[in-house]
């Protein structure tokens, strides 16, 4: 069995029993993931923190509604996505800032300035392009390629079929490829394309 799934199953049982240590463990295991996804929606540090905290509160209050046997990971992501979307809808604007928060450290310890600049430019263009596709396509793309969820988990988050997720990923890949090609950039072949 997948160790993450075992962790999720253990957490789920303990959370349902009201174990405060289980909730602390959940927060530690998911706080960076929640924040990262929230930031991708809000593009603002303070808003991302608010969304993350609100999502954790919702998880704590509604763990009893989680269907046993389902993916806890997917359910948690659904809570964050819905909380972020609600937050954005309550605000009548989408912030202009496109830069991502600083990643904690680098693989080599000293990043190559040229590669860092190129990666930052690509991410800025990708983020701008992501704002121009549908909410479901954007969510599917971010969950798959930035957060590594599998197709079934994304389907659970979006409450759609796996076929719909494939369609969202295909359309988002095609649209993003077209947008980035117009800017002289290329999207990885990992992203679905026509």
Average pLDDT, the chain: 78
- Contacts of residue 153, Cβ cutoff 8 Å, sequence gap at least 6: 71, 73, 74, 77, 143
**What pTM does this model have?**
0.62
- How is domain 1-95 classified at the CATH fold level? Rna Polymerase Sigma Factor; Chain: A (1.10.1740)
Q: Is the pLDDT of residue 112 over 80?
A: no
Percent of the chain at pLDDT exceeding 70:
78
The CATH number that domain 112-194 falls under is 1.10.10.10
Tell me the average pLDDT across 49-57. 93
Q: Is the pLDDT of residue 185 over 70?
A: no
Domain boundaries, the chain: 1-95, 112-194
17 φ, ψ (degrees, to nearest 5)? -85, -5
For residue 36, the SS3 value is helix
| SS3 call for 47 | helix
């Amino acid at each position: 069995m997948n160790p993450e799934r075992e962790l999720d199953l253990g957490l789920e049982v303990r959370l349902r029993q009201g174990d405060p240590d289980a909730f602390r463990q959940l927060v530690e295991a998911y706080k960076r993931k929640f924040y990262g996804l929230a930031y991708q929606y809000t593009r603002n540090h303070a808003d991302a923190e608010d969304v993350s905290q609100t999502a954790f509160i919702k998880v704590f209050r509604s763990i009893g509604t989680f269907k046993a046997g389902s993916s806890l990971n997917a359910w948690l992501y659904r809570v964050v996505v819905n909380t972020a979307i609600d937050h954005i809808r309550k605000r009548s604007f989408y912030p202009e800032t496109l830069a991502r928060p600083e990643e904690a450290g680098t693989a080599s310890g000293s990043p190559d300035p040229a590669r860092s600049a190129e990666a930052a430019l690509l991410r800025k263009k990708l983020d701008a392009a992501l704002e121009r596709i549908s909410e479901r396509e954007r969510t599917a793309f971010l969950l798959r390629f930035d957060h590594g969820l599998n197709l079934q988990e994304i389907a659970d988050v979006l409450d759609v079929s796996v076929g719909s997720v494939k369609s969202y990923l295909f359309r988002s890949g095609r649209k993003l490829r077209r947008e980035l090609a117009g800017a002289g950039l290329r999207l990885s072949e990992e992203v679905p394309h026509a």
